[in-house]
Structure 1
């Protein structure tokens, strides 16, 4: 899983490539591992720099009833509007974090602080404790360097036994994350990787979403984007799939996501939910936060129109009722299609 488990089972960047790199891009096969690491590092720094320009500045003058600003980079303009009460809460929260040395520069982000406040219903004490725990977890887990430090050579095999990935954006510019749970083979999955390594892969993918995918979506949509739309295809899933190892995986992933990446799920569609899954859903719901459950639509096999209400057909794989096939990239589930792969987006400075 690489999307938010607060989804069940994070704004924008300047140029990524140098002029020479833009003239002659290497394929993933041709690019060495060291080059890949260097590019990711550059990308993270650029994303962080532009994020500070694109997030809502806490020090700007605001209107009496609403806070409104037009954030600008040389190639991007968009509005970011906040309620005055929201601004007050975030400002107070930010000052409290600074006073206790809990706000490293890479996490000094208006929207991230707001998500933690929202997750704790604007209780500043509870939000601060949640934030402090997140900071400690990042240190213990090595999250700040995981994009460079952690290699996952078994990815192709993992995806074979657990089909998942991002593909396109919804009509409001959010990345769309897809899992085909009905095709998961947990026994074979744990033969090609371990639970610990899978958890690290999950965190690495979440960090990639926060530092690469969301920023690219910001630029493409000209609005702030820090949440995803998720589709879970559960065809054939029933109680037999809900083994102890599956429960353990779901529990650990949910804890990581809810504790450290709160409120990054916009909406979830569970499709092809048959009688077996509906029995299972009654049990699964008890493991999930009620706020998460409220974002989930459980649909049967007539789900296409519902998906097409929020995702354009060109952004939706054909096997889900859309028109995209990504035939030149080995299929939609292997393509990682999205603004984060658009050379024009990567040129934005």
Structure 2
């Protein structure tokens, strides 16, 4: 994968662990050309942020490498970011009602699966919309979800990539439907629709595996509706499990990383749902988010002969870059 020195300033591995079409480290020449084409088209329309190769590849994969469709998706995402003032919000966001909200709707990242990806957990069966609306607002809850997606991109996934030694761009999600009754069904699936729309439209190619556990009787009928909201590629990543899900989860997630209530052995002090444990909190692997990191130092002035030497040895200069 060719990197662009103007935008690609990665401090973590950039090669995917498994060869797959359109994934970093395994690009065909025409796919690399489509990245350059998409970047050029976006620059021509005045976009200057998030034009790095990994980001553009995610949008291209989400649109089956249709460059025009990927450009439109990217432009729509940037419009949404501007309308919500997301860039500024991320750096200043505070969500003090989090602990209270998690009594009625736990949503959290917790350690990693066996592939090194962050594990994300939601317990939809605990949703109580009336109680949630007394503590916060739907807009604030969606904003918090977007902020957590931003933190997934920077700094959770980079830390996981450093620890695993290869690029990780997706997470392993567990959605627990225990307690979802017919009375809750409308509010629960309305919540799924709004959150899935946000993830699909603005954070493409972030799903590795999704385990729906404790699926209630009759869920297959509901699932047939939900599938209509999702991309077919996404549907293939989703595993529908009943109450006997523990062995399947432990096939993908180490017992010591999986909370006790889901069949693992982890029991973080204060509760796994509030611990935010993972490589992103381990000094060896964590780096400050880019928005908070100090700007790189200006390179020292080189002797006049240096440019001539680089020009005389283009292969060595390219390798060094």
Same topology, TM > 0.5: yes
CA distance in 1, matches of 2:151, 2:172: 16
CA distance in 2, matches of 1:86, 1:191: 49
State the match for 2:317 in structure 1: none
**SS of aligned partner of 1:266:** strand
CA 250–301 in structure 1, closer or farther in 2 if over 3 Å, else same:
closer
CA 247–325 in structure 1, closer or farther in 2 if over 3 Å, else same:
closer
* Contact 2:59/2:74 (<8 A) preserved: yes
State the match for 2:81 in structure 1: 138
Deviations 1:291-313 (A, max 9, x none): 32221000112212211221111
State the match for 1:213 in structure 2: 156
Deviations 1:208-227 (A, max 9, x none): 11111111111111111111
Q: 2:196 aligns with which of 232, 248, 254?
A: 254
* Contact 2:14/2:166 (<8 A) preserved: no
Query: With structure 2 as the length reference, what TM-score do the two structures score?
Result: 0.78
Query: With structure 1 as the length reference, what TM-score do the two structures score?
Result: 0.72
1:1-349 correspondence runs (5 A): 51=10, 54-55=13-14, 81-84=25-28, 85-104=30-49, 107-243=50-186, 245-326=187-268, 329-346=269-286
If asked which structure has higher relative contact order (CA below 8 Å, sep 6+), I would say: 1
CA distance in 2, matches of 1:225, 1:201: 23
Bigger mean CA offset, 123-132 vs 95-104: 95-104
CA 196–347 in structure 1, closer or farther in 2 if over 3 Å, else same:
closer
CA 247–272 in structure 1, closer or farther in 2 if over 3 Å, else same:
closer
Poorly superposed stretches of 4+, deviation over 4 Å: 52-56, 245-248
Q: Which runs of 5+ in 2 are unaligned?
A: 1-6, 294-321
CA distance in 1, matches of 2:217, 2:45: 51
State the match for 2:315 in structure 1: none
CA distance in 2, matches of 1:253, 1:347: 28
CA distance in 1, matches of 2:52, 2:184: 39
* Contact 2:160/2:280 (<8 A) preserved: yes
Deviations 1:46-87 (A, max 9, x none): xx985267547xxxxxxxxx9xxxxxxxxxxxxx62222432
Q: Which has the larger radius of gyration?
A: 2
CA distance in 1, matches of 2:201, 2:43: 20
Give the alignment's Cα RMSD to 1 decimal. Answer: 2.4
* Contact 1:234/1:277 (<8 A) preserved: no
Deviations 1:202-260 (A, max 9, x none): 111111111111111111111111111101111122432222x5454333322221111
Q: How many residues align?
A: 275
* Contact 1:170/1:176 (<8 A) preserved: yes
State the match for 1:63 in structure 2: none
CA 55–108 in structure 1, closer or farther in 2 if over 3 Å, else same:
farther
CA distance in 2, matches of 1:250, 1:53: 32
